[in-house]
Amino acid sequence: MKKTSFFEKVAEGNTTVFVYKSKESKKGPGSKDGVPFYNPAMEFNRDLSIILAQWLINNSKNKVKLLDGLASSGIRGFRMANELKGDFEVFINDWDEKAYRLIRKNLKTKQYENVKVYNKNLNVLLSEEKFDYVDVDPFGSPVSFIDSAARSIKNNGIIACTATDTATLCGVYPRVCIRRYGAVPFYGIPMKEVGLRILIGFICQEVCKYDKGIDPLVCYAADHYFRVYVRIRNGVGYANRSMENLGFIRQGEHIGFEKNSKNIGPLWLGRIQCKKIFGDLQGILSDKKLGTKNVLWKFFDVLEEEADAPCFFYTTDALASFFKKSPPRMEMVFDYLKSKGFDVFRTHFSPTGFKTNASFDIIEKMFK
């Protein structure tokens, strides 16, 4: 009788790994169904981490230590081992026994030489060793790992972090957000941007405690998660300058730090993309074989444009409903605001969204 296999092979980028067969593996954000987890919907997320890790290696003088800290099957770490070029080593960790066995199986299949695997609580590992790149990709919130990642990360290294507790960060459960992130969220049109900025603000505070600063490289909101890549800079000056980017907002205006529970935040009000690295990222993208390459090209284009934009955005549909008019075409909005001498930018947060330095009065005139 033929032996049933618990595993199936999946391919991403240039890499093939074994994952456990799972009824849930083909849809949605996935869940903790008792077997180590592979979510095909996160290929885009992993492809982008390949590009950022390659960027880090290209911009480092020494051997780069990359950690896939919550690895499950290890697909992200094995992809790094297989698809990155240069002087680096990869560390793959999961505390779950089944995940660890799967990671070892994957390790044996290709005899990776630059990979070391661990079966530890990530917080313990991060307290024992220092890394140049720490990937934190949990089920739900990353909050319980950021303090130890902040201690472990080397100067100029990158903390990469996913948060799938988007409902919390977007204000569906405000009390949970206050407990978890120490910040008051907002439920409404710009909630994704507010949520992402609360996450970055939280990381900023966790890092700055240790006299280190953060430099956001690429930060974005996707369907069911937020993802943040921040570069860490050691030094009190960097820490102080980072903290200056924290603040509160009220609907419609920015204000400084104030003790007022009705304020939204604290949240990161600085830039969330590093415009100057996008040329490098596009160069790396053109060299790699990635399943989501075409989507990434377009995505980089929008993020690069958005890098210079002010915080927060309008959407044509929300404005139309506010002014009781039909929504204008995006080209019309861009042409109008540019013709009046204002800057206007697309935003990845919404296909009908735009960011501008024009005041609300100008927007109102546009609708008249």
Helix axes 293-306, 278-287, angle to 10 degrees: 180
Interface with ligand SAM (CB under 6 A), residue from 57, 81, 99, 217 = 99
Among residues 53, 57, 64, 70, the one that binds ligand SAM under rule CB under 6 A? 70
Nearer CB in complex with ligand SAM: 42/184: 42
* Angstrom distance (rounded) from CA 197 to CA 232: 17
Q: How many residues does the chain have?
A: 368
Q: Give me the amino acid identity at 222.
A: A
Q: SS3 of 225, please?
A: coil
Stretch 139-198 residues interacting with ligand SAM (CB under 6 A): 139
Question: By C-beta, is 15 or 73 nearer to ligand SAM?
Answer: 73
| Shortest spacing between CB 125 and ligand SAM, in angstroms | 8
Nearer to ligand SAM, 71 or 80 (CB): 71
Minimum CB distance to ligand SAM, residue 251 (Å): 34
Q: Quick one: 32 or 175, whose CB is closer to ligand SAM?
A: 32
Segment near ligand SAM (CB under 6 A); pick from 136-144, 187-195, 248-256, 351-359: 136-144
Nearest CB to ligand SAM, comparing residues 37 and 278: 37
Q: How far is the CB of 212 from ligand SAM (least distance, A)?
A: 22
Site size toward ligand SAM (CB under 6 A) is 22
The verdict on 122 binding ligand SAM (CB under 6 A) reads yes
Q: Which stretch, 73-81, 207-215, 260-268, 307-315, contacts ligand SAM (CB under 6 A)?
A: 73-81
- Residue 184: is it exposed, middle or buried by C-beta count within 10 angstroms (0-12/13-18/19+)? buried
Give the x/- contact pattern for ligand SAM in 9-48, rule: CB under 6 A: ---------------------------xxxx--x---x--
User: What DSSP string runs through 129-162?
Assistant: --EEEEEE--SS--HHHHHHHHHHEEEEEEEEEE
Select the residue interacting with ligand SAM from 96, 132, 305, 306 (CB under 6 A). Answer: 96
Residue 101: its H or E element: helix 97-110
Spell out the residues 6+ positions from residue 283 whose beta carbon is closer than 8 angstroms to its own: none
Query: Residue number with the shortest CB distance to ligand SAM?
Result: 70
Which residue in 14, 11, 16, 115 sits closest to 67, CA to CA? Answer: 115
Name the minimum Å distance from CB 169 to ligand SAM. Answer: 17
Cα–Cα distance measured from residue 241 to residue 163, given in angstroms and rounded to the nearest whole number: 25
**C-beta closer to ligand SAM: residue 92 or 219:** 92
Classify residue 261 by burial, with Cβ atoms within 10 Å: 0-12, 13-18, 19+. exposed
Give the 3-state secondary structure of residue 186: coil
Q: Is 109 left (phi over 0), alpha (psi -120 to 50) or beta?
A: alpha
Binding site for ligand SAM (CB under 6 A): 36-39, 42, 46, 70-73, 75-76, 93-96, 99, 121-122, 137-139
